[in-house]
Amino acid sequence: MENLLVTGGMGFIGSNFIRYVLNSKKDFNVINVDKLTYAGNPENLKDIQKSNLNKYKFYKADVCDFETICKIIKKENINYIINFAAESHVDRSIDNPILFCNSNTIGTQILLNAAIKFNIRKFVQISTDEVYGALGFNDDPFTEKTLLSPNSPYSASKASADLIVNAYYKTFNIPINITRCSNNYGPYQFPEKLIPLMINNALNDTELPVYGQGINVRDWIYVEDHCQAILDVLLNGRIGEIYNIGGNSEIKNIDLVKKILKILNKSETLISFVKDRPGHDLRYAINHEKITKELGWTPKVKLDNGLKMTVDWYSNNKEWLKNVITKEYLEYYKKHYKNC
Q: Looking at residue 210, which CATH number applies to its domain? A: 3.90.25.10
Instruction: Say how far apart CA 152 and CA 132 lie, in whole Å.
Output: 11
Considering the domain boundaries, does residue 291 fall inside one?
no
CB neighbours of 116 closer than 8 A, spacing ≥ 6?
A: 168, 172, 174
If asked whether residues 200 and 66 sit together in one domain, one would say no
Q: Is residue 238 part of a domain?
A: yes
Domain shared by 235 and 144, yes or no: yes
Does 133 lie in the same domain as 254?
no
The one catalytic residue among 87, 130, 225, 232: 130
Catalytic residue of the set 80, 132, 154, 222: 154
Residue 135 lies in a domain: yes
Q: Residue 189: inside a domain, yes or no?
A: no
Q: Are residues 24 and 142 in the same domain?
A: yes
Catalytic residue among 34, 62, 87, 129: 129
Average pLDDT, the chain: 93
Instruction: Quick: pLDDT tens for 65-117.
Output: 999 999 999 999 999 999 998 876 677 877 777 888 888 999 999 999 999 99
Q: Examine the domain organization and report whether 165 and 207 are in the same domain.
A: no
Burial 32-45 (b: 16+ CB within 10 A, else e): bbbbebebbbeebb
**335: pLDDT confidence band, cut at 50, 70 and 90?**
low
Mean pLDDT of 21-38: 92
Phi-psi region of 93 (alpha: psi -120 to 50; beta: other; left: phi over 0): alpha
Going by C-alpha positions, the residue among 203, 148, 152, 213 that lies closest to residue 180 is: 148
What CATH number does the domain containing 120 carry? Answer: 3.40.50.720
| Tens-place pLDDT, residues 257-309 | 999 999 999 999 999 999 998 889 999 999 999 999 999 999 999 999 999 99
Q: Is 276 a catalytic residue?
A: no
Q: 3-state SS string over the chain? A: CEEEEEECCCCHHHHHHHHHHHHHCCCEEEEEEECCCCCCCHHHHHHHHHHCCCCEEEEECCCCCHHHHHHHHHHHCCCEEEECCCCCCHHHHHHCHHHHHHHHHHHHHHHHHHHHHCCCCEEEEEEEHHHHCCCCCCCCCECCCCCCCCCCHHHHHHHHHHHHHHHHHHHHCCCEEEEEECEEECCCCCCCCHHHHHHHHHHCCCCEEEECCCCCEEEEEEHHHHHHHHHHHHHHCCCCCEEEECCCCEEEHHHHHHHHHHHCCCCHHHEEEECCCCCCCCECCECCHHHHHHHCCCCCCCHHHHHHHHHHHHHHCHHHHHHHCCHHHHHHHHHHCCCC
Is 289 part of any domain?
Answer: no
pLDDT one-digit tens code per residue, 186-202: 999 998 899 999 999 99
Residues 105 and 207 in one domain: no
Residues 58 and 16 in one domain: yes
Are 12 and 76 contained in the same domain?
yes
Count of the separate structural domains present in the chain: 2
CB 177 within 8 A of CB 243: yes
Residue 41 domain boundaries? 2-184+221-245
Q: Are residues 109 and 7 in the same domain?
A: yes
pLDDT confidence band for 327 (50 / 70 / 90): low
Residues 146 and 213 placed together within one structural domain of the fold: no
**What's the pLDDT score for residue 330?**
54
Q: Are residues 171 and 75 in the same domain?
A: yes
130 is catalytic: yes
Tell whether 93 and 230 lie within a shared domain: yes
Task: Let me know if residue 295 belongs to a domain.
Answer: no
Residue range 155-163: mean pLDDT, rounded: 96
**Residue-level pLDDT at 112:** 98
154 is catalytic: yes
pLDDT for residue 334: 53
What percent of the chain shows pLDDT beyond 90? 79
294 is a domain residue: no
- Of the candidates 163, 84, 85, 176, which has an alpha carbon nearest to the alpha carbon of residue 123? 176
Q: Is residue 142 part of a domain?
A: yes
